[in-house]
Amino acid sequence: MVMSISSMVEEHWAKLTQPRGGRIAPPPIDPQEQRVVRLRDDRSAGRRVIHDWRSPGSAWSTRHPTTARRPDRCLTTRGTRCRYPTEPGPDNDLADELDHYVERAIADPAARAYAFGQRWGPEPSTPDKVFGFTPGNGVHDVHMNQGNSAKFQHDDGVWQDGGLLLHYPPQGQWVAVFLAFPSQAWHTDDQTGHAIPGIEPAQVGQAVRIVAALANPPGPAPEAETVTLLNASPQPVDLAGWSILDREKRRMVLGPGLVPAGDAIRIPVVPPVQLGNRGGLVTLLDPDGLKIDGVAYTKAQADAEGWTITF
């Protein structure tokens, strides 16, 4: 199962870079488009999903977390639904999802693909396992590269997660695929990338969610910004020791406050946290410093003075 996800991405990447009708090595990428990006590590690094967002002026819409068929690794989180590697029938698994976007990119001469991972090869005596061209070469590790099990812990690290980005210029659309193996931990150390012991996904449900934010209140600065939290669980939750972070990772620690089951609470934002009017991020951490929820908003959303942004 672990290899199935990795192989799927790498096979689709090979399909995308393979010239039509040819059996030669993929052509070199234009230097202007050859970029190396190391994704910022955070404690939610295990949550790897397919994102579909349009520009300009719209927030990301999270879709389809990619997990293995295990109930404890198939948690339904903000706006998502589970995607397993393969399932009988059309348009209901990860392979179908990848096929849809990759085939669409292949058919569009203006489309561009960006695979962030580790270069391998060339291997002069080893043909490519998908198309058979020689020398075999390409990009692998197009997935999360931290939170590994003990056997692969030596591969852990921060700032090195991979992913596949597809750009469709005519539609002004980007699609990004971020994957993790079922054996990888959802929560990782910010320095080593190793899994945090004793934390399992089933223990970190979204009991509390960020449902709204007032980023641009009426009146001159400093404004009375707020973040609204919802206790979606059937039990009361004490927010003592929880934290709210902004885009710059500035932290505001919450004091004691019991939120009854099903209730919402509006939290006044105080320095050093600031909700910028040019777009931003809001992150919610529990008392152990684990990310429970996170949202993003755009400049277009924040431009509407006095309007509360909902997530």
Can you give the pLDDT at residue 6? 44
- Cβ neighbourhood burial of 271 (10 Å; 0-12, 13-18, 19+): exposed
The residue ranking higher by pLDDT, 30 or 262, is 262
40-54, 232-246, 256-270: range with lowest mean pLDDT: 40-54
| pLDDT exceeds cutoff 50 at 113 | yes
Reported as a single tens digit per residue, the pLDDT across 252-276 is 999 998 999 999 999 999 999 999 9
Reported as a single tens digit per residue, the pLDDT across 6-16 is 444 555 555 45
What average pLDDT does the structure give for the chain?
75
Task: Give the pLDDT band (50/70/90) at residue 198.
Answer: confident
| pLDDT exceeds cutoff 90 at 306 | yes
CA angle 176-246-160, nearest 5°?
Answer: 40
Domains and CATH numbers, the chain: 2-200 (no CATH), 206-310 (2.60.40.1260)
Q: Determine what percent of the chain is predicted with pLDDT higher than 70.
A: 70
pTM for the whole thing? 0.57
Can you give the pLDDT at residue 227? 97
Can you give the pLDDT at residue 2? 32
Task: Give the pLDDT band (50/70/90) at residue 44.
Answer: very low
Report CA-CA distances (Å) from 146 to 156, 167, 184, 189, 297: 4, 26, 7, 9, 27
Can you give the pLDDT at residue 205? 52
Can you give the pLDDT at residue 74? 45
Taken in order 24, 25, 29, 31, the sign of the CA dihedral is negative
Question: 87 with 93: CB under 8 angstroms?
Answer: yes
The residue ranking higher by pLDDT, 158 or 64, is 158
| pLDDT exceeds cutoff 50 at 23 | no
Q: What are phi and psi of 279, to 5 degrees?
A: 95, 160
